[in-house]
Amino acid sequence: MIQWPELIVFTILFLVVTVMGFLASRWQRGSTLDHLDEWGLGGRKFGAWITWFLVGGDLYTAYTFVAVPALLFGAGATGFFALPYTVILYPLVFLPVLRLWSVSRVHGYVTPADFVRGRYGSSLLAFLVAVTGLFATMPYIALQLVGLEAVLRTMGLNGSGLLGHLPLLVAFIILAVYTYQSGLRAPALIAFVKDILIYVVILVAVLYLPSQFGGWGAIFDAADAKFQASESQTDNVLLGPNNQLQYITLALGSALALFLYPHSLTGILASRGRNVIKRNMMALPAYSLLLGLLALLGYVAIAAGVQPITNNATGRPDTNTIIPVLFDNEFGSLFAGLAFAAIGIGALVPAAIMSIAAANLWTRNIYKEYIRKDATPKQEAQQAKLASLVVKFGAVLFIVAIDPQFSIDLQLIGGVIILQTLPAVAIALYTRWLHRWALVAGWAAGMGYGMYLLYLIPNPAAGRQHFGGSALALDKLNLLGWQPFAGSTVQIYVGFVALTVNLVVAVAVTAVLRATRTAEGDDQTHPSDYHADEGSPRLKPVADAVAEA
């Protein structure tokens, strides 16, 4: 049954941000949007507040706000990996992102693959980084639709077949049109509304809901009772001996991976200067506090006896509806509609940024590199706009064609994939010792072994024998017939293992290539490029400065 009051509140707020999305094309606009600097990076002049909302809105997505508490609801302590992961994230990336911003502003790089192309003089390595970014980003965009559909389903829009996806399609047509027109400025402006709504909703929920179920002590007791009755050996309010290593490696691997995603770097490259990024790296952990509070709502849902809504398209319960159902049951229609709008808008912001980042990769590192080398800035911008449309509708088709639960597993696989670019992107910011061909070999080894290990992981709950997640029992590690951990049931994050293989191969092959004095390729960067800041004459002019010249 359709919840009309909630749907009306949701629709009104959705229309407000739609208007903002269209108006964003005039906000802080340069002389033209027919340039990737302007359309894809907002003119490279976002200040501290805009960057904080933009990056926060990009990293803490709608999927995060429905899936993390749903994971605690279903598996317990394992779901808390998202908290240490976002705590250690910012100290890890603080210095690398500053160096990437500087070298990108000096040379006009729009994507991480641009940097790799300039650093190593290798179009092949840049192509591999670009394709890896595209493949890792696509399921991430689809996951935003999972969060949006969970909200729509809770409000009663839970049809089967293509008709059931119609509201989602309408929402993404609107998103596609205003992103096409306004570029990165649209999600940057909408992120203000999204983040304010999210903060209000979560703080009210965390302060109010525990009092309804006897306080946090009773809530944890209810969660413990549920997991004690579970047949799973890993579901508990405390980590067990088999999943502690997986928890640690997943948190560390996820932290290393997040700012390798092209959409995460888009907000960094759109910043005005290094000081803006420094302030943001110090302030963004405020979102981690919010995430920790939100995660606890998974245990609140257990105490409240929440049952997930059955997805009429698949016939199976959709665990991503846990938090929307909790809000629907415990709050009035007005506040529930507000909460649903916060989650729904929270899907649009990252989906827009991700599609823009993917479009930039396609345009700069595939279209311009291999299809049309003489493309003008205007032609690049037009190609990126079209590519962003294709990416968005590809994500919609992705959700329509497959079980959304599989897309969640694909996102975990996406983390394994994007981690294989760490040597070529992150390590290259500090040293060029690793040879370009060794990086290609390391990428191939890490990607191949990672995919092989992921193939071995089943998901009995979803009825799949392969590609069922990213947690692998050590017993499955097999190196040319050698099983160093035979019989062990301790789990580890596949991405961590694959990255280790990548690095070992890259170092070994580099040693061989250097011994044979194989050509390394030209480095277009200079050591001083990595320290240039706002106001430096070394910075390449952005689009509107070029137009005025």
Tell me: the pLDDT tens digits for 437-477?
999 999 999 999 999 999 999 877 667 788 888 899 999 99
Residue 475 resides in a domain: no
Nearest to residue 347, comparing CAs of 97, 126, 119, 149?
149
Is residue 549 situated within a structural domain? no
Q: What is the mean pLDDT of the chain?
A: 90
Task: Judge whether 492 lies within some domain.
Answer: no
Whether residue 84 is contained in a domain is answered as yes
Check which CATH number belongs to the domain holding 179 and give it.
Answer: 1.20.1730.10
Q: Which domain holds residue 269?
A: 4-22+31-420
User: What is the C-alpha to C-alpha distance for residues 148 and 66, in angstroms, rounded to an integer?
Assistant: 9
φ, ψ of residue 33 to 5 degrees: the values are: -105, 5
Question: Which tokens go with 211?
Answer: 């009092």
Q: Which of 193-197, 241-245, 310-314, 419-423 has the lowest mean pLDDT?
A: 310-314
Domain contains 396: yes
* pLDDT tens sequence across 275-293: 999 999 999 999 998 899 9
400: pLDDT confidence band, cut at 50, 70 and 90? Answer: confident
Which pLDDT score is estimated for 546? Answer: 47
pLDDT tens-digit series, residues 235-274: 889 998 999 999 999 999 999 999 999 999 999 999 999 9
Distance (Å, rounded) from C-alpha 399 to C-alpha 57? Answer: 22
Establish if 471 belongs to a structural domain. Answer: no
DSSP label at residue 364: I
What is the structure's pLDDT at 160? 67
The DSSP code sequence of 366-419 is IIIIII-TT--HHHHHHHHHHHHHHHHHHHHHHHHHS-HHHHHHHHHHHHHHHH
Q: Which of 68-82, 276-290, 448-462, 497-511 has the highest mean pLDDT?
A: 497-511
Q: Give buried/exposed letters for 156-181 (b at 16+ CB in 10 A, else e).
A: ebbeeeeebbebbbebbebbbebbbb
**What value does the mean pLDDT take over residues 170-176?**
86
Q: Report which of 499, 341, 493 is spatially closest to residue 9, judged by C-alpha positions.
A: 341
Report yes or no on 535 lying in a domain: no
Query: Per-residue pLDDT averaged across 123-133, rounded?
Result: 97
Range 225-264 burial, b when 16+ CB lie within 10 A, else e: ebbeeeeeebbbbebbebbebbbbbbbbbbbbbbbbbbbb
In 3D, which of 248, 251, 259, 245 has the Cα closest to residue 418? 259
Distances (CA, A) of 278 to 46, 51, 285, 293, 362: 13, 11, 12, 25, 29
Per the domain annotation, does 474 fall within a domain? no
> Helix 322-330 to helix 333-362 angle, to the nearest 10 degrees?
150
**The pLDDT of residue 548:** 40
pLDDT at res. 451: 94
Q: How far is CA 448 from CA 350, 405, 442, 443, in A?
A: 29, 24, 10, 8
Structural domain count, the chain? 1
